[in-house]
Chain A
């Protein structure tokens, strides 16, 4: 038989002793037990929107020290919890009602699952005798959400609540983190719960890789030793594991360049001399040239996404591949590495460090430095206000010390290019799912979690309108979130593709009818500025940076038809990167989306 995969589990269960603690002297309801469980897990905030089936839970919250943040739409609650989670590493908690309340969390669940974000989503449900009978606001929520959760529960017995809640938090935060949904019928949350709290979980088969197999590390070290043109390819797993400092030590010891993915931004400081920035579809030219020409690539908590590899059959030809990931299912999924190490990224790199020595990479680093000079990130300084200019200035005016969230599209890629991330968990962006509407609520969640930090939300005019109802939430709590709208009155990334690959036949991209965003902010009592000319950029950015009386908004009206470069058309090889606007018509891309 196939032997069980070898690993040294850190701990499948938390080490704390299993002392059954009586729930309370008097019987409490399932909902009250649930809230006590959340308090025991250290939950500070619950992001939610009430409704009939969740009323017992909202009622129990009244007596809790947990702060309820009432949102204006359930999708916003999920992204707030996501922003809270990504900026802290602690799970974000969402509470919504049954039926449409629950289905409105599906996009947020997908976003969290694709980007390995710990989240607990509590959904009210109709009373259990009515399950499956088309009751008012009933939906088969566990059924609808199976593909977008790490795990889920439908609680049928109030005495299961303490165990289920403990398991849910353990699952959401351990191993490869992800969202866990708990569906709670109203009769279950109303009924007495007499079960004790639990500390330990019993999940046979859920084995979380911890330290790496020593033999695999030795094998990896031997392959590294042979390399003259190495590159460390750093992903979100490195951020989650806090592996950045260890990776920096490894890079400095080897004298190896680093590149990171969109979500890997912040694991290692992007302003370090060995760092070449982001790779992939809109990565820097020098990062992509480094990867194309390397002889050894080591993926650290990254999953060889199609945005990274481009045409797979031409990706890193001839290069040795080492893959470190906590999720075994990522091995051999896209590429077949020479060594696959199932481990926590930080522990693996720390144990790899003593096994490696400095490599002879002088020529390699010189070559990369030449590429940097030859193909720098650049933009036109004339001809109107450009998004790149605004973001470049934000980076210079203190953006590097702020938590940045983005939405999805052109502004996201420009922000990734021009706003360097130097601190872990300071870059929050929807990568895998590419969820428009993510950025603004995520910034709210991050600001709740980090009251002492400045949080900037960089959004497009399209995505902002998907969740802008949360302006009320931000204004009510006087959160000093800074909203920077890169407003080109287009769904710009799609327009760019239509220009390049579809004969500029624009279809479904013109956002004619946009509101006056500054007036809109005013309607919520929020300070707003408009920027139309490059000369106004610094003054407004500085003013926003210092604004502390609640949220503020900048509507940067940038030139409408600008494109993100470099660009690797979907499905093309990395070497087919386009550095600037092509003169001739291009073939339609073959890759996914």
Chain B
């Protein structure tokens, strides 16, 4: 799972640009997210996912996990520019490193009672949990690596997906190394 982050995604509009996962520790100050986003935007880089929350241990800091695709040389420069921002404590590209990664997905499906057995079977196979059981809808929560979510959600596409929310990837380096 750890090396999976280095996998390349070939979508029609991004010709096999490597996907990177960047972890940034910032001072919890107004505007810090904008400053970081501007560094990416100036180079015309699209952020694919972004997770931000305050550091539970110390509210003065926040953690950001950003995934984006791009050429390594450009990304090296972007990370240096991000590191240069005063409110950024550190920024690391964890691509190719031993990290634990996970993501949460929520799917709302419109389904009659008769369709549910199949959906529940798929959910069980992927250790997904039904968190809302309505008259004509279900909400399923899945937790895991990006690739697991991709496959699971693909399977559910044969049913009527009403809404889909993904948290974006969060990572932590394995062992005692700093994220």
What residues make up the interface of A, taking CB atoms closer than 8 Å to B? 1-2, 4, 142-143, 146-147, 150-152, 154, 171, 203-206, 327-329, 331-333
Contact = CB atoms under 8 A, between A and B. Distances in A.
A329 B80 contact: yes
B91 to A, nearest CB: 9
The 10 closest A-B pairs by CB, nearest first: A205-B89, A1-B177, A329-B80, A151-B86, A2-B92, A1-B173, A329-B84, A204-B89, A1-B178, A329-B81
B9 to A, nearest CB: 23
B135 to A, nearest CB: 42
A1 B88 CA distance: 17
Chain A CB count within 10 A is highest, among B34, B42, B86, B94, for: B86
Contact of B87 (A1, A205, A328): A205
B38 A146 contact: yes
B73 interface: yes
A331 B25 CA distance: 22
A1 B81 contact: no
18 contacts: A1-B92, A1-B178, A2-B93, A2-B94, A4-B90, A146-B34, A146-B38, A147-B38, A150-B86, A151-B86, A203-B86, A204-B27, A205-B88, A205-B89, A328-B84, A329-B81, A329-B84, A331-B80
B162 to A, nearest CB: 34
Contact of A332 (B30, B34, B76): B76
B31 interface: yes
A171 B87 CA distance: 12
Given A142-B31, A143-B34, A205 B86 contact: yes
A328 B83 CA distance: 9
Interface residues of B, number: 28
B86 A171 contact: yes
A66 B173 CA distance: 52
Contact residues of B: prevailing secondary structure: mixed
Contacts of A146: 31, 34-35, 38
A333 B88 CA distance: 20
Contact of B83 (A1, A151, A152, A329): A329
B179 interface: yes
Given A171-B86, A205-B88, A206-B86, A1 B27 contact: no
A205 B90 contact: yes
Contacts of B121: none
B86 A1 contact: no
A332 B77 contact: yes
A292 to B, nearest CB: 25
Interface in B78-129: 80-81, 83-84, 86-90, 92-94, 97
Contacts of B30: 154
A408 to B, nearest CB: 23
Given A2-B92, A329-B81, 19 more contacts: A1-B92, A1-B173, A1-B178, A2-B94, A4-B90, A4-B178, A143-B34, A146-B35, A152-B31, A154-B30, A203-B86, A205-B25, A205-B27, A205-B86, A327-B84, A328-B83, A328-B84, A332-B73, A333-B77
A154 B31 contact: yes
Nearest to B173: A1
Nearest to B84: A329
Interface string B29-49: 011001100100010000000
A329 B27 contact: no
Contacts of A206: 86
B176 to A, nearest CB: 10
Contacts of B177: 1
A459 to B, nearest CB: 32
A329 B31 CA distance: 21
A151 B34 CA distance: 12
Chain B CB count within 10 A is highest, among A2, A150, A154, A331, for: A2
A361 to B, nearest CB: 34
Nearest to A336: B73
Contacts of B92: 1-2
A370 to B, nearest CB: 39
A154 B31 CA distance: 9
A375 to B, nearest CB: 36
Contacts of A203: 86
A88 B76 CA distance: 35
